[in-house]
Amino acid sequence: MPVRKPASRITASVTELRRLIASDFSPGDRLPAEVELATTLGVSRVTVREALRQLWVEGAVIRRWGVGTFVGATDTAGKSFTDSAVNLNDIGSLPAQIRDSGHEPSLAHVEVGKVRAPGAVAAALGLRARQTVWRIERCLAIDGVPTVVLHDHAPTALNGRPFDPSPLSSIEVDVPTLFRAAGMRLVRMDATYDVCAADDAIAALLDVPVGRPLLHARQDSYADTGTLVLTTEGFYRTDNFALRVVRTIPE
């Protein structure tokens, strides 16, 4: 009998986990521990962990660090639509999308430096309170009009090596490219959107009155290890930027 290669074991485990989830669990249910799943599937815990990671990338399961792994919400066809994953290879950088729409992006302001991590940032990145992190502030202009302010926070080291985010000072470098250069592949970005009012600092960068309503985004970027490696807060002028969402109906 041929020996199954590790990649084949992982693929088979992903298939078995999908079947198990579909038959025995509902959206929001907590999955058994990795050790129990490994026993059920007859594979190693390492194989189960990798299979769960792949399902997490797809959005089929949700990881809550320190709590457990849960089944993601699905539509009637069984395809995930809540907490769904985005393959970064399928989306371009914001400057590239602006160019594709016939406009010219540029950086109106860039500031890169080290700061003490705010509490929420430290908690998200798994760091100690007030630990030093990188803060990158960028103001992106469209056709010369300041339109987007992005605040990024990242660890000062990745995989035990110093991390340098200064290439983001160039309009030609996007976040996935930056992390690939650091030896880490981003596989998922989770974003939430709401509306906020421009404070003094944001209003000055975007050249709008204080209190102007803005599209507000919070985004977490995850590496293929499942680790959150970048938090981003974005502020968008709605008179010069529109967010278009396309939803498809499965056959």
Walk along the chain (251 residues) and give the pLDDT tens digit of each residue.
444 445 678 888 988 999 999 889 888 888 999 999 999 999 998 999 888 888 887 778 877 656 788 887 654 334 333 333 333 344 457 787 777 777 889 999 999 999 999 998 998 898 888 899 999 999 999 989 999 999 999 999 998 899 999 999 999 888 888 998 888 888 888 888 899 999 999 999 999 999 999 999 999 999 888 889 999 999 999 888 877 665 656 55
116 and 11 belong to one structural domain? no
100 and 219 belong to one structural domain? yes
Q: Answer whether residue 81 is part of any domain.
A: no
Q: Answer whether residue 251 is part of any domain.
A: no
How many distinct structural domains can be found in the chain? Answer: 2
Q: Answer whether residue 78 is part of any domain.
A: no
Alpha-helix runs per DSSP H in 70-225: 94-100, 119-125, 175-181, 200-206
Output the domain CATH number for residue 33: 1.10.10.10
Q: Answer whether residue 225 is part of any domain.
A: yes
Q: Answer whether residue 155 is part of any domain.
A: yes
Q: Answer whether residue 134 is part of any domain.
A: yes
Q: Answer whether residue 136 is part of any domain.
A: yes
Task: Produce one character per residue of 53-92: b if its CB has 16 or more CB atoms within 10 Å, e if not.
Answer: bbbbbbbbbbbeeeeebbbbebeeeeebeebebeebeeee
Structural domain range at position 193: 88-236
Domain end position, chosen among 17, 37, 71: 71
116 and 182 belong to one structural domain? yes
Q: Answer whether residue 152 is part of any domain.
A: yes
Alpha-helix runs per DSSP H in 70-155: 94-100, 119-125
pLDDT, position 244: 65
150 and 48 belong to one structural domain? no
Q: CB count, 10 Å around CB of 231?
A: 21
Cα(218)–Cα(226) distance, integer angstroms:
18
Contacts 24+ apart (CB under 8 A), 19-23: 21/60, 21/61, 21/71, 22/78
pLDDT, position 79: 38
pLDDT, position 88: 39
